[in-house]
A and B are shown apart, each in its own frame.
Chain A
Amino acid sequence: QKEVEQDPGPLSVPEGAIVSLNCTYSNSAFQYFMWYRQYSRKGPELLMYTYSSGNKEDGRFTAQVDKSSKYISLFIRDSQPSDSATYLCAMIPTGGGNKLTFGTGTQLKVEL
């Protein structure tokens, strides 16, 4: 079993929908949580970076961390076709330096 689990999808939604992407993890030492977006044949790009529990909002994106449930989410409001990509969650434990552990990614398709 992997340390970080994500539903691989694909997840297909109509344009304008609210999208919810989720990760669960097993290591309670994870303290730093990130979401990356990866377009086909490109490198991952950092979308959101949060520390510990709570919410963080940036434009149409909201990251939510629930450490008690070992569960993180990324919400995308008013989804656009340009949001079609693979979304990867990633985490670093306390004292883990810069060693990211990634989820397997969820493929999202936003259709017109």
Chain B
Amino acid sequence: DTAVSQTPKYLVTQMGNDKSIKCEQNLGHDTMYWYKQDSKKFLKIMFSYNNKELIINETVPNRFSPKSPDKAHLNLHINSLELGDSAVYFCASSQDGEQYFGPGTRLTVT
């Protein structure tokens, strides 16, 4: 059973396009997150939702918009993609502090 799943696993797209990444967790957790991991493996939080409410919103360009339709799902929509958006995006969920990560979505912008 996959605890935190993401789709797609790989995403290759051109600059200027709009794309979405989806995340689902079946752990019953209340809190979900989006992280960005750059080419040097540095992992940085972007957003966090608790029970569909945005609670962490780091300094991220407003081209990035998270949406949580219910507490088991958190999607990330990116407008007008730029070369610098190329990275691995991880979804995570947590209850009582321990965060569980999904397998990641490798986004390449050409």
Q: A interface vs B, CB < 8 Å?
A: 8, 32, 36, 38, 41-46, 49, 86, 88, 92, 97-100, 102, 104-105, 107
Contact = CB atoms under 8 A, between A and B. Distances in A.
A96 B42 CA distance: 20
A36 to B, nearest CB: 8
A9 to B, nearest CB: 10
B17 to A, nearest CB: 24
Chain B at the A interface: mostly helix, strand, loop or mixed? strand
Contacts of B68: none
Contacts of B97: 32, 49, 92, 98
Interface of B: 4, 31, 33, 40-45, 48, 55-56, 90, 92, 94, 97-104, 106
A98 B48 contact: yes
A43 B43 CA distance: 11
Contacts of A104: 40-42
A100 B103 contact: no
23 contacts: A32-B97, A36-B101, A41-B106, A42-B103, A43-B4, A43-B90, A44-B101, A45-B100, A46-B100, A86-B41, A88-B41, A88-B43, A97-B55, A98-B31, A98-B33, A98-B48, A98-B56, A98-B97, A98-B99, A99-B48, A99-B56, A100-B45, A102-B43
